[in-house]
C-alpha cells in the first residue's frame, strides 16, 4: 500500500490512501465469497437491527418453519452447525416463545421443533424486511445475474 500526499491548498496537505493490492486474492473464490458475506451481514445488521436476530438465527427459524417437527440433529446437520450450538439457539428461541420442543413418539431423547404462533408472526414480519434488504444489497445486479449467482452458490453448497 502506498500513501500519496495531495495538496488541496497552499496551507493544507491531505494524505490519500490508495486501495491496497490484493495479489492473488482477487482470483480466489473463497476470499471473494467471504468478502461478500461480510458486506452482506453488515448490511443485514444495519438495516434489520430492529429484529434483534442474526442471519444464521433467522435461517434456523425459516428451516423450522419449512420443516415442522424437524429434530435438532437433522437441523444441525442441514445448516452445518454443532448440535450443542444449535441447542443454545433453540434454548433462546424457547425463552422468547418463538419455538417449542415436543417429544418424539418412540424416541425419548429427541425433540421435534415447531414454531409457535409468536414465532410464525415474527417470521411473517421479518421475511419481507429480509427480502427488501437483499434486494437493496443486490440492486446493481440484473434479475438474471442474481438468479445465476444463487444457482451457482447452491451448486457449490449441494455438491456431494
Q: Please report where in the chains the cell 486474492 appears, as a residue.
A: 25
Q: Tell me the per-residue pLDDT of 8-21, one tens digit each, with 9 for 90 and over.
A: 555 566 777 788 88
Supply 50's cell numbers.
430492529
Question: Is the pLDDT assigned to residue 3 strictly greater than 60?
Answer: no
Pairing mode of beta strands 99-104, 70-71: unpaired
- The count of other CB atoms within 10 Å of the CB of residue 48 is 18
pTM score, two decimals? 0.81
Q: What is the dihedral of CA 63, 64, 65, 66, to 10 degrees?
A: 50
Q: Please report where in the chains the cell 409457535 appears, as a residue.
A: 116
Predicted pLDDT of residue 62: 97
> How many angstroms separate the Cα of 43 from the Cα of each of 130, 133, 140?
10, 7, 15
- The count of other CB atoms within 10 Å of the CB of residue 75 is 19
Closest CA to 61 of 144, 155, 126: 126
Supply 107's cell numbers.
424416541
By the 8 A CB rule, do 91 and 79 touch? no
Q: Tell me the per-residue pLDDT of 106-138, one tens digit each, with 9 for 90 and over.
A: 776 778 999 999 999 999 999 999 999 999 999
Amino acid at each position: 500500500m502506498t500513501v500519496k500526499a495531495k495538496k488541496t491548498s497552499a496551507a493544507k496537505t491531505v494524505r490519500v490512501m490508495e486501495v491496497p493490492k490484493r495479489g492473488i486474492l482477487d482470483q480466489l473464490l473463497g476470499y471473494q465469497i467471504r468478502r461478500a458475506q461480510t458486506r452482506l451481514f453488515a448490511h443485514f445488521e444495519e438495516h434489520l437491527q430492529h429484529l434483534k436476530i442474526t442471519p444464521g438465527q433467522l435461517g434456523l427459524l425459516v428451516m423450522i418453519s419449512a420443516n415442522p417437527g424437524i429434530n435438532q440433529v437433522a437441523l444441525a446437520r442441514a445448516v452445518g452447525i454443532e448440535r450443542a450450538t444449535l441447542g443454545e439457539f433453540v434454548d433462546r428461541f424457547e425463552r422468547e416463545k418463538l419455538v417449542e420442543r415436543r417429544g418424539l413418539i418412540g424416541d425419548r431423547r429427541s425433540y421435534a421443533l415447531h414454531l409457535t404462533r409468536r414465532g410464525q408472526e415474527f417470521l411473517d414480519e421479518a421475511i419481507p424486511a429480509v427480502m427488501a434488504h437483499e434486494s437493496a444489497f443486490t440492486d446493481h445486479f440484473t434479475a438474471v445475474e442474481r438468479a445465476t449467482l444463487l444457482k451457482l452458490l447452491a451448486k457449490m453448497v449441494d455438491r456431494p
